[in-house]
Amino acid sequence: MIELWRIAPPRGRIVIALALAVLLALPLAADRYVISVLTLIFYFAYVGQAWNLMMGYAGQLSLGHALYVGVGGYVAALMWLKLGIGPWLGVFAAVAAAAAFGAAIGWLGFRFGIAGVYFALLTIAFAEFTRIGFDHLELTGGAAGLFLPFEEKRIGEWWNLRGGQLLFYYLGLALAAGAALLVALMARSRLGYQWRAVREDETAARALGIDAFAVKMAAVVISSGMTAVGGVFYAFYYNNLFPSQVFEISRSIELILAPIVGGLGTVFGPVIGAFVLTPLGEGLTAVTGRFGINAPGVKAVFYGVVLIVIISAMPSGVWPRLAALFGLKDHAR
């Protein structure tokens, strides 16, 4: 970590330190709405970072990452509800369960040479049949959902993640910052370089002696485990889980947008993407409301247009362009 800080350019160090300081102090000045939006930004930055590891670095396209959010959330929630085990411990079981799902998908895909869009289809299929399974699973409340008790008197029990807005704000910030740091470290590790070698040309990587199967498996297992932590956050923040909500493909799409817009295969891409997209959605709601544009779906149209513009103008994402602008081009990745 110290090495990472040392190699960062001075301008980069200042920006990171300043951004962290501002975000740490922001609740002193910001209102609840801003904090709520920022919490969501941190969540998307975190899960986006987990997906970025698998797609951005290892080049394996998953369109079913909502599966791991759902599995993580359900496992931790069930452990708390049925066994009285708090989320700080439950998160380990959640990570293990999601990683097992990830390993199963990875093994099936990589062992039998399912790659590219076919691998993406496999991930969607797993998410879909898990959703259907949870729809029928009595233990989890089936399609009618699983609910975590929300009691005003328990607010403050941080050990059970029964907190107010600030608890989730700082937890989200810690997760987003921690994930960025972890990805930065991994990207510079031997495994990180192997991921990129496999991503660029798997045959060439094999020729160099890289065990592509093991490298890709590591990516999917780490990514699914990380995503499960996001699922635990989601479950305890919203206090309810419906299979139709958490496993939906639209959820998977939602969580990959930030890294795509921010910059795939970059450490800051998912963070910047989340900071662009979530406020964009909120801003469009406010603007359409202010101008009395009451047609449903109009925001989605504007949102889509803005996304098209961003992706057309910056095909490799917002962060690489920003990095070039601030003279951090060599450090964009």
Partner 1 sequence: MTHQRKAAPTRRRVLAGAAAAGAVAFAPAIVRAQAKSLKIAVLLTRSGYLAPAGQSCHRGALIAPRVLADYGHQVDLVHVDVESNPDVARNQAERVINDGVDVVVGAFDSACTLAIAQVCEQRQAPLVVNIAAAPALTEQGYRFLVRNFPTGSQIAVNGLARIKAFIEATKANPKTAVFLHVNDTFGTAQRQAMDRLLPNAGMPFRVLESIAYDPRAQDLSVEVTKIRALKPDLVLVVTRAADAIKLVRDMVRQRFEPMGIISPGAPGLYDEEFYEALGPLADYHAYAVPWANPKSSMAQALEKAFKPAYPNYRFAVECFNVGFTFEALLVAADGFKRAGTTNGAELMKAIRATNIKEHIMIGGPITFDDKGQNNNVPSAMVQNRNRAPTVVLPAEDATMAPVFPMPPWQGRT
The length of the chain, given as a count of residues: 333
Q: Is the dihedral of CA 105, 277, 333, 117 positive or negative?
A: positive
Size of the site for partner 1 (CB under 8 A): 38
Nearer to partner 1, 202 or 282 (CB): 282
97's CB contacts (< 8 A; 6+ apart) are 71, 72, 75, 228
Nearer to partner 1, 132 or 174 (CB): 132
Residue type present at position 86: G
Does 305 sit near partner 1 (CB under 8 A)? no
218-to-57, 68, 110, 177, 222 alpha-carbon distances in Å:
12, 15, 12, 22, 6
CA angle 303, 166, 48 (to 5 degrees): 40
Spell out, one character per residue from 214 to 243, where the chain touches partner 1: x when CB under 8 A holds, - when not: ------------------------xxx-xx
| Distance from the Cα of residue 309 to its chain's centroid | 23
Nearer to partner 1, 240 or 316 (CB): 240
Q: Are 90 and 80 in contact (CB under 8 A)?
A: yes
Of 245-264, binders to partner 1 (CB under 8 A) are 245, 250
Does 297 sit near partner 1 (CB under 8 A)? yes
Nearer to partner 1, 19 or 286 (CB): 286
Question: Which of helix, strand or coil describes residue 143?
Answer: helix
Question: Which of helix, strand or coil describes residue 240?
Answer: strand
Spell out, one character per residue from 72 to 111, where the chain touches partner 1: x when CB under 8 A holds, - when not: ----------------------------------------
**Which stretch, 35-43, 76-84, 95-103, 176-184, contacts partner 1 (CB under 8 A)?**
35-43
Residue type present at position 172: G
What residues form DSSP beta bridges with 240? 147
Does 10 sit near partner 1 (CB under 8 A)? no
Candidates 40, 120, 173, 257: give the one binding partner 1 (CB under 8 A): 40
Candidates 29, 82, 84, 151: give the one binding partner 1 (CB under 8 A): 151
Specify the DSSP element, H or E, that contains 208.
none
Candidates 116, 133, 156, 164: give the one binding partner 1 (CB under 8 A): 164
Dist. CA 20–CA 331, nearest whole Å: 19
What residues form DSSP beta bridges with 147? 240
Candidates 16, 36, 128, 193: give the one binding partner 1 (CB under 8 A): 36
State in angstroms the smallest separation of the CB of 31 from partner 1.
Answer: 6
Within 13 Å, how many C-alpha atoms sit on residue 114's CB side? 16
State in angstroms the smallest separation of the CB of 80 from partner 1.
Answer: 15
Residue type present at position 328: L
State in angstroms the smallest separation of the CB of 87 from partner 1.
Answer: 17
Dist. CA 63–CA 251, nearest whole Å: 10
Candidates 3, 6, 29, 33: give the one binding partner 1 (CB under 8 A): 33
Nearer to partner 1, 16 or 37 (CB): 37
Within a 10 A sphere around the Cβ of 66, how many other Cβ atoms? 30
Does 136 sit near partner 1 (CB under 8 A)? yes
Interacting residues toward partner 1 by CB under 8 A: 31-33, 36-37, 40, 132, 135-136, 142-145, 147, 149-152, 164-165, 238-240, 242-245, 250, 281-282, 285-286, 289, 294, 296-297, 299-300
